[in-house]
Chains A and B, each alone.
Chain A
Amino acid sequence: MPPVASPVASPVKFDVGSFRDRSARVFESEQAIYRTLNQESSEAWKRVSCQDFFQRRMSTGQIIPTTELSDSEIRRFLFPTEVTGVLKHERIPFISYPYEWPFALLKRATLLQLDLLAEAMTHQVMLKDSTPYNIQFRGTQPVFIDIGSFIPLVPNEPWLAYRQFCELMLFPLLLQAYRGIHFQSVLRAQLEGIPAKQFLQWIRWRDLFRPGVFTNGWLHAALERNAQQVSTSTVTDLKSSGFQSQMIQQMLKKLTRLVERLEWNPAATQWAATQWANYDESLPHVAEDLQAKSDFVRNVCQTHRRTLVWDLGCNDGRFSRIASEFATTVIALDQDHGCIERLCKSLEPEQRVILPLCMDLANPSPGQGWRGQERRRLEERGEPDLVLCLGLIHHLVLAANIPLPDVVGWLASLGGELLLEFPSKRDAMVKGLLRNKRDQYADYSLEHLVQELQKSFQIVRQVSLPSGERTLFHAIPQGKSKSADGA
């Protein structure tokens, strides 16, 4: 029985994204993250949480550090009657989704999932689902967050989550590794993942001979097609036929070997062959301005420590790295998958500050899923203290055709201080963008930018870079000026 709530207890409001598994729902209160348990999941928690492997993985950060609330703490909240226990999780600094992760991060998440499951099975514990949404990142380090996923192993029962594993983790990785198809846009459109049948439509005949495709793709789809007429429970029938848990462990070993060998090399892609991927090094004016820009960023960042910094259009992550010296979390966003992949691989796997994500800022992640609330839009996942917008505004205004006042308005809506770089129309990069276009961008001027900035920000500092064609701004949102100055 759950403890009786105190008269002043507040009813909990569950996270709208946690409805799928009714036995372990999540809610947030006073900046802390909690998970309710029912009778079944309470028993599972008691059995799993005392295991050595579980405690060890929590201490190394591979499983989210979690504690159980005492009865007196539970009384602060008013729960539905089925709730019998409550867990408190350590907070993840920034929630990200698989459709934003580069290949390297989905691969790390997949290997963690396989590794956890393989070890759990040796302790008679199972993971009841297998979705990358159960994993988050601290920097580039994956953390398993869905404690409700651990359940006692039912001996000799097949792995129920294998299809989910393929559709949300394995097939996306295979498509990018073998076909160069960016899985992010597919996973963003299909939250349940890529069915085997659809996976095969993107695979060439000769790919059937590449590791993992025939068995996990072709045979999987064929069996799904042919097993549709079966009316009895396949789980029960397989158990009666002598299925053994050991077969799952063999399969996990094969899947781990397969995923470990998968690579996506952005150097071989079209993106990396363009000047965008390396433009810091190849364009003379950028090289000339680089040092001054780095100094400017460092000067602003070192004034005080920030909790959350967003680096919009981070490119090779040079400024994310500078910001990371003075921030708890830096979210490095760029639409160029090659840049993000290289940045991700160049960072120490154990670092917990910079999180590189694939994001087209002219079309950032929207609210998704049931009622558009299951997966939150980018802007709803935490207010940045500082936004770096370097080498980006001309792409948004001149390439994506977003009016300059809208861009500034969006930057202001983020709520943080702003570090903005503005290249004039005489800048080589801007000329390149306008080379084959009608110049309909009368609003794209330094004077107009200053006017727009002053509507929402106080401009603290304005500096021209040595090339003379680019200007840097440090701006503070109006109303926050005093607190930022005094910090």
Chain B
Amino acid sequence: MSSLFAYFDPSAGSLLLQAFVGGAGGIVVIGRYLWMQFWAKQSTQVR
């Protein structure tokens, strides 16, 4: 199912927070998320 975006901006910070308070599973999510951001940044710099 496709994502249903809201009529307001949910703000990136408020979305990340939900993983932060999501217990041990949430910490893993944050770790993966930061890793993805890191590699996205690296690949942009290489180009």
CA distance A240 to B15 in the complex (A): 13
User: Do residues A247 and B12 form an inter-chain contact, with CB atoms below 8 A?
Assistant: no
Shortest beta-carbon distance from A449 to chain B in Å: 50
User: Do residues A234 and B12 form an inter-chain contact, with CB atoms below 8 A?
Assistant: yes
User: Do residues B13 and A223 form an inter-chain contact, with CB atoms below 8 A?
Assistant: yes
List the A side residues contacting B7 at CB < 8 Å.
20-22, 129
User: Do residues A155 and B12 form an inter-chain contact, with CB atoms below 8 A?
Assistant: no
User: Do residues B13 and A158 form an inter-chain contact, with CB atoms below 8 A?
Assistant: no
Instruction: Identify which of A162, A241, A244, A250 contacts B14 (C-beta below 8 A).
Output: A162
List the B side residues contacting A236 at CB < 8 Å.
3
User: Do residues B4 and A158 form an inter-chain contact, with CB atoms below 8 A?
Assistant: no
List the B side residues contacting A247 at CB < 8 Å.
18-19, 21-23, 25-26, 29
Which residues of B1-47 have CB atoms within 8 Å of chain A's CB atoms? 1-8, 10-23, 25-26, 28-30, 32-33, 36-37, 40
Shortest beta-carbon distance from A190 to chain B in Å: 14
CA distance A21 to B6 in the complex (A): 9
User: Do residues A227 and B12 form an inter-chain contact, with CB atoms below 8 A?
Assistant: yes
List the B side residues contacting A166 at CB < 8 Å.
14
A interface secondary structure, majority: helix
CA distance A220 to B40 in the complex (A): 24
Instruction: Identify which of A21, A215, A222, A243 contacts B19 (C-beta below 8 A).
Output: A243
User: Do residues A223 and B20 form an inter-chain contact, with CB atoms below 8 A?
Assistant: yes
List the A side residues contacting B40 at CB < 8 Å.
232
Instruction: Identify which of B14, B25, B30, B33 contacts A224 (C-beta below 8 A).
Output: B14
- Of all chain B residues, which has the CB nearest A129? B6
Instruction: Identify which of B1, B3, B15, B28 contacts A162 (C-beta below 8 A).
Output: B15
List the B side residues contacting A157 at CB < 8 Å.
3
User: Do residues A128 and B29 form an inter-chain contact, with CB atoms below 8 A?
Assistant: no
Which residues of A250-266 have CB atoms within 8 Å of chain B's CB atoms? 250-251, 254
Interface check A443, CB cutoff 8 A: no
Instruction: Identify which of A224, A237, A243 contacts B11 (C-beta below 8 A).
Output: A224
CA distance A238 to B37 in the complex (A): 11
Interface check A152, CB cutoff 8 A: yes
Interface check A201, CB cutoff 8 A: no
Which residues of A152-198 have CB atoms within 8 Å of chain B's CB atoms? 152, 154-155, 157-164, 166
CA distance A223 to B30 in the complex (A): 12
User: Do residues B10 and A242 form an inter-chain contact, with CB atoms below 8 A?
Assistant: no
Interface check A206, CB cutoff 8 A: no
User: Do residues B1 and A154 form an inter-chain contact, with CB atoms below 8 A?
Assistant: yes
Interface check A346, CB cutoff 8 A: no
List the B side residues contacting A22 at CB < 8 Å.
7
CA distance A230 to B28 in the complex (A): 19
User: Do residues A235 and B1 form an inter-chain contact, with CB atoms below 8 A?
Assistant: no
Shortest beta-carbon distance from A228 to chain B in Å: 7
Q: A162-B18, A246-B22, A247-B23 are in contact. List 17 more A-B contacts (CB 8 A).
A: A128-B4, A129-B7, A151-B4, A157-B3, A158-B15, A161-B6, A162-B15, A220-B14, A222-B13, A235-B10, A236-B3, A237-B33, A238-B15, A239-B3, A241-B30, A243-B29, A247-B19
6 pairs, CB–CB < 8 Å, chain A vs chain B: A158-B18, A219-B17, A230-B37, A236-B3, A237-B37, A251-B18
